[in-house]
Structure 1
Amino acid sequence: MRTIRLILKLLPWLIVILLALWIYLTFKTAQQTETVINRSAVLQKIESLGKLELVRYNFKEITEVTELSKEYFRIFKLGPDSRIALISEGQAVGCIDLTKIKEDDITMKNDTLYVRLPPAEICYYKLDMENTRIYSLQTNPLKDEKAFIQKAYRYAERDIKESALSSGILEQTRNNAELILKPFLEQTSGKVVVLTDKVPETMLDLK
């Protein structure tokens, strides 16, 4: 009889404990599901941006190319050396290819979203042919003048790329990601966003 009374006395507490446990497990499962959905949604938003152009550098260069004519017996040459000077204008664009980001690059810790970015790169570089002109030209009549001029244009285009790299276009691209991409991701996820180049191993990766 006492046993029955004891069970009846403890029964409400058992019900309360079981109910609390059920609510906790349900909330935890729902929270984990929500986190996965948010990560997936953020990834889709990021991928939809494709190659995000973040900086554009404009250049004006002088490119000089000399092609020596063959010398015979150190005495004479068959024609003069070929020389050209180009005054060129062009541009280089720095970007981050967001299609390279995978779900493993998105990490949650507490209320902070960590996104590991791929390296900054030069999307493209090109000459502005309308504003690029030949300043001076001397060619060997025995050589292909058109081929020599085309070579000079290729060198001028290469100079655009090298000037962009030496001017810090990759560093500026990464810095601009903080100014442009970070606010977008914070608005999308509703969380504080930290852009990283490498996610610390101690962080919890929720899946």
Structure 2
Amino acid sequence: MQSRSSGYTLLIGFILVIVLLALAALAIPRLWHPAEEAERTIREGIDARLHPTPTVRPNPTTIIRQIQNLSRLETASYTVEKVITAESGQDALAFLFGDRLLFVAHGRVIAGVDLGKIQEGDITVTDDDRVIVVLPPPEIFVVTLDNEKSYVYDRDTGLFGMNPDLETEARQAAEEEILKAALEDGILELAEENARAYLERLITAFGFREVVFVTATPVPTPSVLPVTVIPLTPTP
């Protein structure tokens, strides 16, 4: 019995030794793994210094194409309500031939920069990764009335004085007054400021460090046509 017990003990000990050796064999690669990682990191760092990857940036022609694809960049919008009084035949015979109307106009002005006007010579890339852009001047794109919100508030017509063109004239005058208000509030300056900010983000995304803008000759401001109307301030 004692001999058999000794045999079991030796067998168990032998199995334990084999298990320990197997665990040790599995642990060795794990112990060496951090060292291998560190060595590979150092090797890659040295290789990157000796053989740096060149930074590829687009040339001016590529930048121009990207910008021109934006076409008419709308960067500022202005909405306002105006009350316009238009009249005709307001003389001694106004009760016969006179016509007078009160028109409430709700309009919108949109301004921006026409990037389709940028030519190849308008963009320069310097050796220190700066981009110089000759930006087209801001301009008015749209002056329009919202027909759903614009309406004739009141109209006083003489016995024979209905003027079929009076409302049209009032609408034209309203557009001119709305444009004038937008220009006075600086819509063109805001449009240029927003266009510069947008293009600066676009160009620096290509990897350039700075964008310098030069504004081209301004576009003449649309003139106000003479009409027989009297603008009024809306009553509260």
TM-score normalized by the length of structure 2:
0.62
Instruction: Kindly indicate whether residue 82 of structure 2 is the aligned counterpart of residue 61 of structure 1.
Output: yes
Report the counterpart of residue 98 of structure 1 in structure 2.
Answer: 115
How far apart, CA to CA, are the structure 2 residues paired with 1:76 and 1:108? 71
Give 1:48's aligned residue. 69
Which of 121, 135, 160 aligns to 1:117? It is 135
Displacement, 1:137? 0.8
Distance in 1, Cα, partners of 2:191 & 2:170: 29
- Could you tell me whether the CA contact under 8 Å between 1:42 and 1:189 is conserved in 2? no
* Aligned equivalents of 1:125, 1:77: Cα separation in 2: 33
Aligned residues: 161
Instruction: Show the 5 A alignment for 1:78-93.
Output: 79-93=96-110
- Structure 1: runs of 5 or more not aligned: 1-33, 199-207
Q: Which amino acid aligns with 1:193?
A: V
Query: For residue 138 of structure 1, what is the aligned residue in structure 2?
Result: 156
Query: 2:160 & 2:209 partners in 1: Cα distance?
Result: 68
Cα deviation code 1:94-119 (max 9, x no counterpart): 11000111011111223100001111
Q: What is the TM-score normalised by the length of structure 1?
A: 0.70
Is residue 86–residue 167 contact of structure 2 (8 Å, CA) maintained in 1? Answer: no
Match of 2:60 in 1: 39
Structure-1 residue corresponding to 2:124: 107
RMSD over aligned CA atoms reads: 2.3
CA distance in 1, matches of 2:93, 2:81: 37
Aligned counterparts of 2:141 and 2:80: Cα–Cα separation in 1: 16
Separation (CA, whole Å) in 1 of partners of 2:162 and 2:97? 13
TM-superposed CA distance for 1:134, in Å, is 1.2
Query: How big is the shift at 1:161?
Result: 1.2
Give deviations 1:121-166, integer Å, cap 9, x for gaps. Answer: 0110100110111111112443443321121111112211111111
Question: Conserved in 2, the CA contact under 8 Å of 1:47 and 1:99?
Answer: yes
**Does structure 2 retain, via aligned residues, the 8 Å contact 1:182–1:195?**
no
* Structure 2 segments unaligned to the other structure (5+ residues): 1-55, 217-236
Percent of paired sites with the same residue: 27
- Number of the residue aligned with 1:178: 196
SS at match of 2:153: strand
The 2-side partners of 1:188 and 1:82 are apart by 62
Greater shift, 184-193 or 85-94, is seen at 184-193
Question: Structure 1 residue runs of 4+, over 4 Å off?
Answer: 75-78
2:173 aligned partner, one-letter code = Y
Q: CA offset at residue 196 of structure 1?
A: 1.6
2: CA distance between counterparts of 1:150 and 1:57?
22
Give the Cα–Cα distance (whole angstroms) in 2 for the partners of residues 76 and 140 of structure 1.
9
| Structure 1 letter corresponding to 2:132 | Y
Q: Distance in 2 between matches of 1:115 and 1:139?
A: 57
Query: Considering only CA atoms, is the larger Rg found in Structure 1 or Structure 2?
Result: 2
Question: C-alpha displacement at 1:186, in angstroms?
Answer: 1.6
How far off its partner does 1:188 sit? 3.4
1:56-109 C-alpha deviation (Å, 9 max, x unpaired)? 11111111112234x5xxx65672532111111111011100011101111122
